[in-house]
Structure 1
Amino acid sequence: MSEQLRSSGGFSETGERELAGLVRQRVVARLAAYAGEREAAGLAPEDDAARQTTVERVLADELSAHRRVALGQGRAVLSPAVEGRIAQAVADALLGTGSLERLLADPGLENICVNGCDVVWVKDSRGVWRRERPVASSDTELVELVRTVAARAGDEERRFDRGMPRLNLQLPDGSRLFAVMAVTGRVSLTIRRHRYPAASMDELVRLGVCDRHLAAFLRALVRARKNIVIGGGTNVGKTTVLRAFAHEIPPHERLVTVEDTFELGLDTDAVVHPNVVAMQAREPNIEGQGGIDQAELVRWGLRMSPDRVIVGEIRGAEVIPMCNAMSQGNDGSLSTIHASTSRGVFTKLAAYAAQSPERLSLEATNLMVASAVHFVVHLGWDASGRRVVDSVREVVDADGAQVVSNEVYRPGPDGSAVAAAPVRPETLHDLVAAGLDAQQTWSQGWGAAS
């Protein structure tokens, strides 16, 4: 036991972190020695469960040794609260996500933003930001924490250095982490939480995203195999709504999902969706080789006999193969896109198509979109700051530089969607065949609006 460890008594938060670091070093050294003994004996490396048990045992031994030294020297032992925090910090660093673990364990947080190791801000479910304690003792330690998390995230190579100054990955709890360095003044990372990983239409109604009449209409759109693009701003709940739509897809259908970073998790519930292939884009390796973008994955997905193709978010060139998928027999496909209004979705689709290798003209893009997309569902914020569906558009046709659409639900006085113009008769026929109560929808919606 080092002198610094022996002499620790009552101390500040900084001293507590230093002691946790010393305990961690001793635990790591013992774990390395233990692993070497197993290898020398010809034993296989421990699996995750066995490693956790070993870490907990060695950590308990080190803290017990610290208590014995303190008692032998006539000093006060660590209080249970301090010892518990040190044990948690060491366990989190070796088994979890380090100092971020305490924030990830808080179910009330939606966003965790770290603008340097000691500038930490979190946003709760009410949309309120507050400052939190540091997550590392230095930015260098923060970089190592991010690299450690990345190494545990999967089998793919996940670099984070000056040569690859950004990192995008999914944490074990489904949260999404994005980190950046070198191009910012300090190392920064953002974690977006998904509070409703198993969303459904009923859950959207409970959360106030839509009322039960609009939910019935949206449910019918999915069951009638309408191609839908979900638009909205950052952090407005597009992924949650996409999950709720997917929840309405019959379990006998085969799904292929394409994402930049795994978030949807449709392949994790074998009861709701037993036949799913989930694909994730891949960054190039250190030699600049092996990168696979979403556009290529969509093309691959079409060869896998899917009933529907789901693209987590349209970000660029994948717009063209996605529209091709929607217009060549994979009806009922879904995707999301960043857009500030429902009409703005068409502008974003055209912009991405113009930047793709095909370099489609605006007129060609609009014809493609009109033949592929049936509905646009847009999310926004109501007057009280709550996430809501604020607009639904039925795509009708293309007319040169414009996509012709019919806003069947528009923003009401409080910002949430209210019935506007009815859908086309042939569309209503499809929705009724999919289970929509036309009489109730008319009386509660378009009939009341007229």
Structure 2
Amino acid sequence: MVTQKLEQVETTQSDTRLEQQALAGQFVLEALDVIAAERVKAFLPPMNHIEESNIVDEVLATLFGLGAVERLLADESIENINANGCDIVWVYHANGVKRQAKAIAKSDNELVALIRKAAARLGRNERRFDIANPFLDLKLPDGSRLNTVMSVSERPALSIRRHRHEQVTLHDLCKSGTFDKALQNFLWAVVQARMSIIICGGTNAGKTTLLRALLNACHPDERLITIEDRLELSLAADPNRHRDVIELETRTANIEGLGEITMQQLVRNALAMSPDRLIVGEVRGPEVVDMLAALSTGNDGSMCTIHANSSQAAFSKIATYALRSSERIPVEVTNRMIAESINFVVHLSKDSHGHRQVISVREVIGYSMGEVSSTEVFGPNSSDLNTLLQSSTRERLTSVGFESTVSEQDPKVLNY
């Protein structure tokens, strides 16, 4: 009877997630009462409170979450989770320690079933995870980013990256050592002056965290349109800091191969939504053409992230994506668009100890002989950021208080 009730809760669409969990929890407690009565009849000792609580947690985690993975997600010290099959599980702690954890499912098939349920329930749109669609990217309720594959690997593989400090500011990153006070004030001024920024770096270098901090330096009333493969920025979760936000997310095709929504489509549509700033979570395809076009036609102060090994390499990466687009934009044309639309490239790096740091800031100064002309205004070989900037850039930054923002306060407070 209880099993039938749980199945009914699992398929109910009208109830909210919290209501479903509460209802399922009540049914589990009823089942425990039945079990307790049967143990008394069999002259067996009753389960203690801890055992009952563990059973409730396990059932709810299986029904509404990722089963045993939930116990790892509950550990705030864990930063990343990697599973090579159901029983080879590695966790990475924030202090840099890597250790092997217990199995997260009884079998690979059970793990795949849990992931399929998560794909159907946890995202904004239901996503498929099967042989025809063996890749899945998903944002979990706590903000973590899940990526998993099946069939293309010997065993299903799951990776979860935790995104901490959702309300992070430039001041927070300065305190954590991502950059010094001078660079904090500079980045704040770049945002206030509505100059366009590309954030680049390797995997897990902290690009999204820096992007979120830069956006938190924007005025709360600015209209921000974010475009992501899976929602990570979560700006709408803080209406006090961001009062006018539209979050757009791509969508995969359904079982008939219909209904796919691409990054390129979202970028094009966003231009008709009157954004003050256009934010592309991660550029990695033909949407780069539309993004550059948008930035060069009035959407000042827009931002995006991209995978690149250096601030200089970001230009060639963008040109490569544009060349692969349906328009096949020549490299020279792309470079001219970069020169006309991008002001700064900020490069992040992560060292062997897990410490993330801004190691280069490059200013785009123009276009010459088919190449992007730029100057590294902050980096290993630069000493005075202010003197390396173009005079027009210095004037623009000074107009928003760059030279005067030397207080130990969070710079965003100085703006409003």
**One-letter code aligned to 2:178:** V
Q: After superposition, where does 1:33-432 map in structure 2 within 5 Å?
A: 45-154=14-123, 156-382=125-351, 385-411=354-380, 419=384, 422-432=388-398
Give me the whole-angstrom Cα distance separating, in 2, the residues matched to 1:439 and 1:62: 62
Relative to 1, partners in 2 of residues 1:382 and 1:419: Cα closer, same or farther, differing over 3 Å? farther
Partners of 1:366 and 1:400 within 8 A in 2: no
Unpaired segments ≥5 residues, structure 2: 408-416
**Number of equivalent positions:** 406
Shift of 1:71: 2.9
- Amino acid of the residue matched to residue 191 of structure 2? V
* SS of 2:279 mapped into structure 1: strand
Q: State the 1:172 CA deviation.
A: 1.1
Q: Deviations over 1:375-405 (max 9, x none)?
A: 0001013575410111000001122343211
Q: Structure 2: which amino acid aligns with 1:339?
A: A
1:29 and 2:4 are equivalent in the alignment: yes
- Which piece of structure 1 moves more, 80-89 or 207-216? 80-89
Deviation, structure 1 residue 108: 1.5
Give the Cα separation in 2 of the matches to 1:155 and 1:227.
29
Q: CA deviation at 1:85?
A: 2.1
Which residue identity is paired with 1:28?
A: T
Deviation at residue 439 of structure 1 after TM alignment: 9.7
Deviation at 1:211, TM superposition (A): 1.3
Helix, strand or coil at the partner of 2:365: strand
Deviation at 1:186, TM superposition (A): 0.4
Q: Is the 8 A contact 2:185 2:405 kept in 1?
A: no
User: What's the offset of the Cα at 1:109?
Assistant: 1.5
Between stretches 227-236 and 148-157, larger displacement belongs to 148-157
Instruction: Give the equivalent residue in structure 2 for 1:435.
Output: 401
CA offsets, 1:91-141, max 9 Å, x none? 211233321111111111221111101111111112322111111101111
Deviations 1:192-219 (CA, angstroms, capped at 9, x unpaired): 1101111111111121111111100000
After superposition, the Cα gap between the structure-2 partners of 1:299 and 1:112, relative to the gap in structure 1 and judged at 3 Å, is: same
Distance 1:123 1:382, change over 3 A: closer
- Look up the match of 2:414: none
CA contact (8 A) 1:220 1:435 kept: yes
Determine the C-alpha separation between the residues in 1 that align with 2:30 and 2:218.
Answer: 52
TM-score by length of 1: 0.85
Q: Measure the CA separation in 1 of the matches of 2:365 and 2:22.
A: 60
Q: Distance in 2 between matches of 1:66 and 1:367?
A: 72
User: Structure 2 vs 1, CA of residues 127 and 398 (structure 1 numbering), >3 Å: closer, same or farther?
Assistant: farther
Q: Residue 432 of structure 1 aligns to which amino acid in structure 2?
A: T
Residue 167 of structure 1, CA deviation: 1.1
Q: Please give the TM-score of this superposition, normalised by the length of structure 2.
A: 0.92
| 1:3 paired residue number | none
Change (3 A) 1:383 1:425: farther
Q: Distance in 1 between matches of 2:150 and 2:352?
A: 37
Structure 2 letter corresponding to 1:181: M
1:32, distance to aligned residue in structure 2 (A): 4.0
User: Which range moved further: 44-53 or 273-282?
Assistant: 44-53
Paired amino acid for 2:313? G
Distance in 1 of aligned mates of 2:64 and 2:406: 54
1: CA distance, partners of 2:67 / 2:354: 33
Q: Tell me by how many angstroms 1:79 deviates.
A: 4.2
- 2:388 maps to a residue whose letter is P
Deviation (angstroms), 1:70: 2.3
Preserved contact between residue 96 and residue 353 of structure 2 (Cα < 8 Å) = no
The 1:358–1:253 alpha-carbon spacing in structure 2 relative to 1, beyond 3 Å, is same
CA distance in structure 2 between the aligned counterparts of 1:179 and 1:380, rounded to whole angstroms? 25
Amino acid at match of 2:78: L
Which residue type is aligned with residue 270 of structure 1?
Answer: P
Change (3 A) 1:273 1:143: same
* Residue deviations 1:157-201 (CA, integer Å, cap 9, x gap): 311110111111111111111111010000111111101111111
Structure with higher RCO (Cα < 8 A, 6+ apart): 2
SS at match of 1:58: helix
Please tell me the residue identity of whatever aligns with 1:433. Answer: S
Q: Which has the larger radius of gyration?
A: 1
Amino acid at match of 2:369: G
Which amino acid counterpart does residue 217 of structure 1 have in structure 2? F
Conserved in 2, the CA contact under 8 Å of 1:283 and 1:292?
Answer: yes
Q: Which residue of 1 aligns with 2:412?
A: none
Aligned to 1:11: none
